[in-house]
């Protein structure tokens, strides 16, 4: 019953779709990539629909053909009227008019053919004028699609109630380094649609990167109340908590991230680090291992598991993990330094010296001291 009610509510909300699409076909006013319902466009469309119905009633000779064309328009628009705007944050897409407008063209052609006006000089003149006007409009409007920022500038200008237009323009603006403008657009998107969770997440991420972690945390909290299945957001919130010293809160959030995405290797790695800091080394190894299983090229997971094995004095496994890490990064001086230490503890002084030499070449400052002590 709930699904049926949702479809009904969507249908009622989208009733302006038919007159809007027809109105814009005849009078291309307020065209944009992310449109919202407009009273003027709807009125224009209703008037045109009334004229079409009148013509069907009055034209007995071609009534069936005209009725077919009219029903073509209605039936092909209907499926889109049951779609929810809640997931997209805009009312409809103008491209949905392509198929229905075949019916409009067929309707017009039938009328003109019936009255033998296609060869009339004045009709040709009117059509030529319309083609020129539409061509000019097409050239002018095409500039809105020349770049992403132009597209969303146009969308925001033509539809001030589109949260997704403001949100997407914000993402472009922050990519251009226009942080203040991006924040302003995100805030406008939240004002328009307080239930649009992604905006909270995007603004929170931006503020976190610019050093306002406390405000970012509040935004993550607000967004997660709306949309709970957001593993990346739990991960980002956990990072903030971890930096502030809330280790248990961070662990809880990392595990929530895994609840919604069990393949989130970064969360597995982070939990492994927390267990390592707690001194629960077997549990740390387990989480590092799952992170590696999900992402076999996770250098830091191999490295940290190797360090953990070394703390357990299992130097063979530690060296094996260091070897795996080396295949992913041959320029990490810490890798060679720690592997050398593990080799020394495993009675392989020569191997340790070779690794210390390599670590020193890569800039490790501690390796020369050990070289002078063990490699004579």
Per-residue pLDDT of the chain (376 residues; tens, 9 = 90+): 667 888 888 888 888 889 988 988 888 878 888 888 888 889 999 999 999 999 999 888 888 999 999 999 999 998 888 876 655 566 777 777 889 889 988 998 888 876 666 666 676 677 777 778 878 877 877 788 889 999 999 989 888 888 999 999 999 999 999 999 999 999 999 999 999 999 999 999 999 999 999 999 999 999 999 999 999 999 999 999 999 999 999 999 999 999 999 999 999 999 999 999 999 999 999 999 999 999 999 999 999 999 999 999 999 999 999 999 999 999 999 999 999 999 999 999 999 999 999 999 999 999 999 999 999 7
**Three-state DSSP state, 188:** helix
Q: How far apart are CA 169 and CA 173, in angstroms?
A: 6
Give the C-alpha separation, 80 to 7, whole Å.
Answer: 11
Q: What is the pTM of this model?
A: 0.80
Contact 66, 59 (CB under 8 A): yes
- To which residue do tokens 């970012």 refer? 216
Nearest 5°: the CA angle 168, 208, 291 is 95
Q: Is residue 238 within 8 Å of residue 270, measured between CB atoms?
A: yes
* Rounded to 5°, angle at Cα 211 from 168 and 204: 35
Instruction: Report pLDDT digits (tens) over 305-348.
Output: 999 999 999 999 999 999 999 999 999 999 999 999 999 999 99
Domains identified in the chain and CATH numbers = 2-114 (no CATH), 146-227 (1.25.40.10), 228-303 (1.25.40.10)
Q: Is 16 helix (H, G, I), strand (E, B) or coil?
A: coil
């Amino acid at each position: 019953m709930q699904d049926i009610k949702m479809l009904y509510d969507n249908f009622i909300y989208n009733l302006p779709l038919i007159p809007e699409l027809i109105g814009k076909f005849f009078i291309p006013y307020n065209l944009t990539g992310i449109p919202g319902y407009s009273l003027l466009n709807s009125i224009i469309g209703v008037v045109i629909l009334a004229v079409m119905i009148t013509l069907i009633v009055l034209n007995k000779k071609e009534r069936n053909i005209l009725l077919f064309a009219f029903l073509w328009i209605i039936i092909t628009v209907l499926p889109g009227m049951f779609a929810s705007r809640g997931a997209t944050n805009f009312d409809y897409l103008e491209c949905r008019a392509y198929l229905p407008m075949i019916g409009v063209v067929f309707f017009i052609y039938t009328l003109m053919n019936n009255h033998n006006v296609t060869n009339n000089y004045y009709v040709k003149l009117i059509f030529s004028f319309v083609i020129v006007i539409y061509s000019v409009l097409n050239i002018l409007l095409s500039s809105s699609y020349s770049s992403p920022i132009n597209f969303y500038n146009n969308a925001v200008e033509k539809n001030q109630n589109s949260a997704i237009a403001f949100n997407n323009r914000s993402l472009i603006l922050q990519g251009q380094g226009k942080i203040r403008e991006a924040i302003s657009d995100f805030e406008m998107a939240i004002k328009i649609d307080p239930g649009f969770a992604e905006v909270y997440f995007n603004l929170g991420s931006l503020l976190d990167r610019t050093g306002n972690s406390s405000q970012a945390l509040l935004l993550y909290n607000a967004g997660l109340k709306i949309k709970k299945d957001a593993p990346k957001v739990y991960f980002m919130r956990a990072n903030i908590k971890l930096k502030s010293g809330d280790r248990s809160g961070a662990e809880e959030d990392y595990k929530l991230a895994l609840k919604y995405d069990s393949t989130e290797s970064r969360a597995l790695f982070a939990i492994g680090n927390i267990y390592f800091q707690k001194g629960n080394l077997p549990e740390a190894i387990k989480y590092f291992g799952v992170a590696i299983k999900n992402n076999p090229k996770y250098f830091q997971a191999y490295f940290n598991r190797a360090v953990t094995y070394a703390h357990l004095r299992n130097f063979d496994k530690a060296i094996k993990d260091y070897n795996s890490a080396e295949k992913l990064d041959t320029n990490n001086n810490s890798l060679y330094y720690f592997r050398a230490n593990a080799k020394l503890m495993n009675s392989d002084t020569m191997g340790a010296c070779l690794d210390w030499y390599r670590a020193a070449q890569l800039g490790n400052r501690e390796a020369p001291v050990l070289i002078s002590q063990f490699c004579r």
